[in-house]
A and B are shown apart, each in its own frame.
Chain A
Amino acid sequence: MTNSTLDAPPARVPAELTPQRGRWQRLRPFLPLVALVVLVILPYSTISLPGIFEGPVNSPGTLQLLAICLIFGGLAAGYDLLFGRTGMLSFGHALYFAAGVYGTDVLVTRAGLPLWQAALLTITGGTILAALLGAVALRTVGIAFAMVTLAFAQVGAILVARDFGGLTGGEEGLPLDVSGLPAGLVGVTNTVNLYWLALAYLTLVVFVVHRVSGSPTGRVLAGLRDDERRIGVLGLDPYRYKLVAFTLAGGLASTGGVVYVLIVGGASPHITSSELTLSLLVMVVLGGPGTRWGPVLGGVLYMYLDHRLTAFGTSDAVDNLPAVLSRPLSQPLFVLGTVFILAVYFFPGGLTSLAPRLSHLTRALRPQRTPPG
């Protein structure tokens, strides 16, 4: 890259292609790799970040929180394959995640299968389930599709809550029987392995989603999002492509469930609730649908806030406020819901749209200088 291209006047070039700082620009493709390396070596650090985490970074509690955040970053990225990249508004994505969680738990705890078999069976089962239910739900489009997927997910919630056959433990949930698991995945001291597993899951989802959206299939999916009829006119079958995306996203979600159950050490019925799917939607929209890193950021941030706001809500600072303020603030969902509504109004592109907006702002505020060199 020569200096002349870097020094081209910014006004002529679209904002996203504008070279802002030469050195940054050249490093940018490697940023995800750097982030990955930082995340991999993070458990070796003993830094304490008071106010952000309860204990030092390498304490099991913090690592578990981080692992859950990473899982949801991956889940949100997988959900974005449907919502942001294909334009399918599914309200039943929690079902496939829950299938992964409960499938693994039931097969390990009740049937006594080794973990790898249980995981394999669960992921296969979750993917087949997504294919079957998707085949029915995709007969509708748009809002009706959302309602139908929601109804299917509700069956999962009912099955789990009513405890058919005594498999799921009903409202109590089902703790994971750890006796048959590999030793490296059990116990507080091994939380770091689970953290790496979660990181591996996130990496897998991001890799798969990016590969798919960069492939010809991904271009068809983007076409479906923009104008489904046009894809039909081109002679491609929209139904088949949508089913592929739906099945793939379902499979990724069940894989996430397998990792999640290991981290949390059991299954509880709240993960089957429609609230979880709505949360996934909130994550994606907060982060920026259809963008490379938005959904991941949204998922991580949402889960972090959800956990930390509970602690924040019961903290002294909030308790000392008048009841009119302290009561709503002690509800994480109130805060998150409000933030979400504001985000829909004021940041339609989510968090990732903030960077270009801010750079426009700073560029407008900065006095015009002639480029050096």
Chain B
Amino acid sequence: MARAAAARQRPNALGGALGFVWLILTIGPIYYVVVTSLKSQADYYSSNPLGIPSNPTLRAYRTVLQNDFLRYFFNSLLVAVVTVVVVVAISLMASYVIVRRSSAIARLSQRVFLLGIAIPIQATIVPVYYLIVQLGLYDTLPALMLPGIAFAIPITVLILVNYLRDIPAELYDSMHADGASDWRIFLSLVLPLSKPAITTVAIYDALNCWNGFLFPLILTQSENVRTLPLSLWSYQGEFNSDIPAVLAAIVLSCLPILAAYIVGRRQLVAGLTAGFGK
């Protein structure tokens, strides 16, 4: 039915044109970054910025890799993995309670989490800085994980609650009737059933964490705890006239995510659309 209806329609010329223009706007800047990162410094100043490099070179990439790129990479990875695992675990527990309990406290908690989405919570950065300093965590990786976890909770809970609502109450009830404990229900019912939603929020939180700039900028200062977005920022200062190297650093910092995207694109897009589109 749907197919037949679609076939009857004329091709969407306006949509196609807009889609094409947007495509160029999307890949244009990306193309520029990749092309420029393959140029020599001299080439950068003399050649057409959008032209293909006459002598492509990986020099810029070597420069970046020799400047502690891998260390920043592993810092980012560690922060992202810890943050995402903790956020998803505790948010799923909270969502389970919110969906299954109708008590005033559960309802209030849900509203409090919602508040976290409605207000620009980055505005609380000054007291967060104060707290981190007081806890003696300034300039450490946990300084990035703790507030990162807290700030990711609202949207994670929101998506998980939306998803868990669709699990039929009878499933919980029958497990409960069989004498299963809360934890047992959580581990053998809620956890496996919410896998698609977990994938979505994990991806979303990981992207945010991986790309985060404000926390690292404010809560760390040493090189040995620097994360990727901040490293791009500092490379820009260090290599001040070596633009190809700065852009190579950008390409390198995107590669892991790009690789993950290529492998899991379907799941990623499906997850994000299902998670937010409801």
Q: Say if A and B assemble together.
A: no
